[in-house]
Amino acid sequence: MDAAAFPPENVAALLRWYVDHGLDETIGEEAVDRFALPPPAAAQVPGAPPSNAIAPTPVRPPTPPPAVRAPVPLESPQLVEDARELARRCATIAELEEAVRAFEGCALKRTAKNTVFADGVAGAPLMIVGEAPGADEDRLGKPFVGVSGQLLDRMFAALGMSRERDLYITNILFWRPPGNRTPTLAEQAVCLAFTRRHIELARPKLVVLAGGTSAKAMLDTTEGIMRLRGKWATVKLDDGTEMPAMPTFHPAYLLRTPASKRQSWLDLLAIDKKLGELGVKVSS
């Protein structure tokens, strides 16, 4: 193959395209049947050594270490700074939404159908921050509108709350990752610049972090949701604001693991108690 036909910049662009579309591993060009039986053993020739004799191990020259290659930059760190500066200049939620919809610095936007910004009542006492839009959210342009969103509505309805009156809902990502894959750290960093400003402008009394990706990103921790859920934490924003946050399971996880609903109910009770302590009255 002529190496001149594939200059380094073309290879880097191809790798970026693969990662943007969720391709993170390579396989062989030919299919391998892992269930095929091994070929029959050859017949024993008289006078020949037994077939189960151990053959001497051939001496092979040491394998040279692989060449060290510089990592391919998938997204420039400058994009994160651009997003932060753009978010800082937004004085209202309407301005922020307009800025997010016009922003072209996140590769996820090129594969998504819609920008999914928020739903519910801006300025509501409780703000829910999920992970990323799914297929239904991408199609309709609103967060938590699929099956998991219906479960979310029922969960907070048990506390006498609704998204039409008491909740403001968003995600840390505004565009659906291809195939619902876990967003990369670069994608999270770009969108978090807007999400953190989103919380500053919405000014909720407390924040619910739905799912491990949301909790780890907003709390800047590597601990998983199993350790984080049910424990009050503090979200520290860029303007110096600090507000209580409750990490809890994502509704999609509860649909897959119904036995965990009991733990989520305890989280909801803690949220309801905290709202009461903050002077928020929820009307049924």
Reading the block at residue 22, the tokens are 């969720």
The candidate with the shortest Cα–Cα distance to 24, out of 173, 135, 192, 182, is: 182
Q: Return d(Cα 64, Cα 196) in angstroms, integer.
A: 48
Q: Return d(Cα 214, Cα 208) in angstroms, integer.
A: 9
Q: Is residue 243 part of a domain?
A: yes
Q: What is the pLDDT of residues 3-20, one digit of tens each?
A: 555 566 666 777 776 666
Q: Is residue 159 part of a domain?
A: yes
CB 226 within 8 A of CB 248: no
Reading the block at residue 254, the tokens are 């509860």
Query: How many domains, the chain?
Result: 1
- Asked if the model's pLDDT at residue 171 lies above 90, the reply is yes
Q: Is residue 154 part of a domain?
A: yes
Residue 41, pLDDT score: 55
CATH of residue 111's domain is 3.40.470.10
Q: Is residue 33 part of a domain?
A: no
Q: Is residue 24 part of a domain?
A: no
- Asked if the model's pLDDT at residue 1 lies above 90, the reply is no
Q: Is residue 242 part of a domain?
A: yes
- What is the residue whose two structure tokens read 């099956």? 147
Domain interval for residue 125:
77-277
Q: Is residue 34 part of a domain?
A: no
What does the DSSP assignment read for the chain?
A: --GGGS-HHHHHHHHHHHHHTT------SS---TTPPPPPPPPPPTTSPPTTPPPPPPP-PPPPPPPP-PPP-SS-HHHHHHHHHHHHT--SHHHHHHHHHH----GGGGT-SS----EE-TT-SEEEEES---HHHHHHTSSS-SHHHHHHHHHHHTTT--TTTTEEEEES-SSPPGGGPPPPHHHHHHHHHHHHHHHHHH--SEEEEESHHHHHHHHT----HHHHTTS-EEEE-TTS-EEEEEEE--HHHHHH-GGGHHHHHHHHHHHHHHHHHTTPPPP-
pTM, to two decimals? 0.72
Residues in the chain: 284
Q: Is residue 65 part of a domain?
A: no
Residue 281, pLDDT score: 81
- Asked if the model's pLDDT at residue 2 lies above 70, the reply is no
- Asked if the model's pLDDT at residue 239 lies above 80, the reply is yes
